[in-house]
Amino acid sequence: MFHDETHKNIMTLTLEDDSTIELQPLVTIQIKDREYLALTSPSEESEDVYFYEFIEHNEHEIELLNIEDDKILEAVLDEFEKWFDGQIAEE
């Protein structure tokens, strides 16, 4: 299941080394009872996509967790590919 997030604002993430990166949400992917977020740079030159488990604590606070399980990551990537292929087909 997908929820298109491209209309959302830019997010600033603080990384483990305290550096920051700005990312734009692309899509929320739901697998079983968990949600995963695909993010990319707002820069059109970047083709990198980052995937995190997404936990919403309240309307203004979210938590992004690394996806540590390879099988879950593979399932998220498969769903993202389906969503991405649908986006290409619409263009």
30-70, pLDDT tens digit by residue? 998 999 999 998 887 778 899 999 898 887 788 899 999 99
Give the pair of three-digit tokens for residue 20: 């920051």
CA end-to-end span of the chain, whole Å? 21
CA distances from 27 to 14, 33, 45, 62 (A): 20, 16, 19, 15
Hunting for tokens 């619409």 — which residue is that?
90
Q: Is the predicted pLDDT of residue 7 greater than 60, yes or no?
A: no
HSE value, Cβ hemisphere, 13 Å, CA-based, for 34: 13
Residue 75: φ, ψ to 5°: -65, -40
The secondary element (H helix, E strand) that includes residue 49 is strand 49-58
Q: Where are the domains of the chain?
A: 2-90
Quickly state the pLDDT bin for 5 (edges 50, 70, 90).
low
